Amino acid sequence: MSEYEDQKSLYRDVQRALWTEWDPIGVNTPDDPGPSDEYDGYAASVLRALNAGGGDVGLARVLDAIERESMGMGRPFSEVLEAARRIRAVLNWRDRDAAS
Protein backbone atom coordinates (compact mmCIF):
# COMPACT_ATOMS: atom_id res chain seq x y z
CA MET A 1 0.00 0.00 0.00
CA SER A 2 1.29 3.48 -0.68
CA GLU A 3 0.51 6.92 0.64
CA TYR A 4 -0.98 7.97 -2.71
CA GLU A 5 -4.48 9.39 -2.82
CA ASP A 6 -4.42 10.44 -6.45
CA GLN A 7 -4.21 7.45 -8.84
CA LYS A 8 -3.02 9.61 -11.74
CA SER A 9 -0.12 10.86 -9.64
CA LEU A 10 0.72 7.29 -8.63
CA TYR A 11 0.61 6.14 -12.26
CA ARG A 12 2.96 8.96 -13.33
CA ASP A 13 5.35 8.08 -10.51
CA VAL A 14 5.32 4.42 -11.56
CA GLN A 15 6.15 5.51 -15.12
CA ARG A 16 8.99 7.68 -13.82
CA ALA A 17 10.30 4.89 -11.56
CA LEU A 18 10.42 2.48 -14.51
CA TRP A 19 12.47 5.08 -16.41
CA THR A 20 14.85 5.95 -13.59
CA GLU A 21 15.13 2.72 -11.59
CA TRP A 22 14.52 -0.12 -14.05
CA ASP A 23 15.55 0.94 -17.61
CA PRO A 24 16.53 -2.58 -18.77
CA ILE A 25 17.54 -1.52 -22.27
CA GLY A 26 19.64 1.39 -21.04
CA VAL A 27 18.02 4.28 -22.88
CA ASN A 28 18.17 6.64 -19.90
CA THR A 29 21.82 7.68 -20.01
CA PRO A 30 23.20 10.93 -18.60
CA ASP A 31 24.87 11.89 -21.88
CA ASP A 32 21.98 11.07 -24.20
CA PRO A 33 18.69 10.26 -22.47
CA GLY A 34 16.27 8.54 -24.80
CA PRO A 35 12.50 8.97 -24.83
CA SER A 36 11.25 9.16 -21.25
CA ASP A 37 8.04 7.34 -22.22
CA GLU A 38 9.95 4.22 -23.33
CA TYR A 39 8.46 2.04 -20.56
CA ASP A 40 5.07 3.72 -20.05
CA GLY A 41 3.30 0.77 -21.64
CA TYR A 42 4.37 -1.43 -18.74
CA ALA A 43 3.18 0.88 -15.94
CA ALA A 44 -0.27 -0.74 -15.64
CA SER A 45 1.25 -4.22 -15.22
CA VAL A 46 3.68 -2.93 -12.63
CA LEU A 47 0.93 -1.13 -10.74
CA ARG A 48 -1.17 -4.32 -10.72
CA ALA A 49 1.83 -6.23 -9.34
CA LEU A 50 2.36 -3.63 -6.62
CA ASN A 51 -1.31 -3.74 -5.64
CA ALA A 52 -1.29 -7.54 -5.60
CA GLY A 53 1.43 -7.62 -2.96
CA GLY A 54 4.23 -10.13 -3.17
CA GLY A 55 6.95 -7.72 -2.17
CA ASP A 56 10.16 -7.21 -4.05
CA VAL A 57 10.18 -10.74 -5.45
CA GLY A 58 6.62 -10.48 -6.78
CA LEU A 59 7.40 -7.24 -8.58
CA ALA A 60 10.70 -8.65 -9.86
CA ARG A 61 8.87 -11.63 -11.35
CA VAL A 62 6.61 -9.27 -13.31
CA LEU A 63 9.56 -7.17 -14.49
CA ASP A 64 11.48 -10.31 -15.43
CA ALA A 65 8.53 -11.62 -17.46
CA ILE A 66 8.26 -8.28 -19.28
CA GLU A 67 11.97 -8.33 -20.06
CA ARG A 68 11.94 -11.92 -21.31
CA GLU A 69 8.59 -12.04 -23.11
CA SER A 70 8.24 -8.50 -24.46
CA MET A 71 11.85 -7.45 -24.87
CA GLY A 72 13.60 -10.75 -25.58
CA MET A 73 16.11 -10.13 -22.81
CA GLY A 74 17.45 -12.42 -20.16
CA ARG A 75 19.23 -10.51 -17.40
CA PRO A 76 20.13 -12.30 -14.18
CA PHE A 77 17.16 -12.32 -11.82
CA SER A 78 19.31 -10.67 -9.14
CA GLU A 79 19.57 -7.54 -11.31
CA VAL A 80 15.82 -7.45 -11.87
CA LEU A 81 15.23 -7.97 -8.15
CA GLU A 82 17.48 -5.01 -7.35
CA ALA A 83 15.47 -2.85 -9.78
CA ALA A 84 12.24 -3.98 -8.09
CA ARG A 85 13.65 -2.97 -4.71
CA ARG A 86 14.59 0.46 -6.03
CA ILE A 87 11.16 0.98 -7.59
CA ARG A 88 9.37 0.07 -4.38
CA ALA A 89 11.72 2.30 -2.39
CA VAL A 90 11.21 5.41 -4.53
CA LEU A 91 7.45 4.87 -4.41
CA ASN A 92 7.61 4.27 -0.64
CA TRP A 93 5.51 1.14 -1.29
CA ARG A 94 4.46 -1.24 1.47
CA ASP A 95 2.38 -4.33 0.90
CA ARG A 96 -1.01 -4.35 2.58
CA ASP A 97 -0.23 -7.26 4.90
CA ALA A 98 3.07 -5.66 5.94
CA ALA A 99 1.31 -2.40 6.85
CA SER A 100 -0.97 -4.16 9.35
The model's pLDDT over 14-46, given as tens digits with 9 standing for 90+, comes to 999 999 999 999 989 888 888 889 999 999 999
- Residue 62 in any domain: the answer is yes
Distance from CA of residue 33 to its chain's centroid? Answer: 18
- Residue 30 in any domain: the answer is no
Instruction: Determine the Cα–Cα distance for residues 73 and 86; give it in Å rounded to an integer.
Output: 20
- Residue 29 in any domain: the answer is no
Boundaries of domain holding 65: 7-23+40-99
What is the chain's length?
Answer: 100
Chain mean pLDDT for the chain: 88
What integer pLDDT is reported at residue 31 of this predicted model? 85
CATH number, domain containing residue 78: 1.10.340
What integer pLDDT is reported at residue 95 of this predicted model? 66
Domain count, the chain: 1
- Residue 76 in any domain: the answer is yes
Lowest mean pLDDT among 6-10, 12-16, 58-62: 6-10
Instruction: Determine the Cα–Cα distance for residues 98 and 78; give it in Å rounded to an integer.
Output: 23
| Type of residue at 49 | A
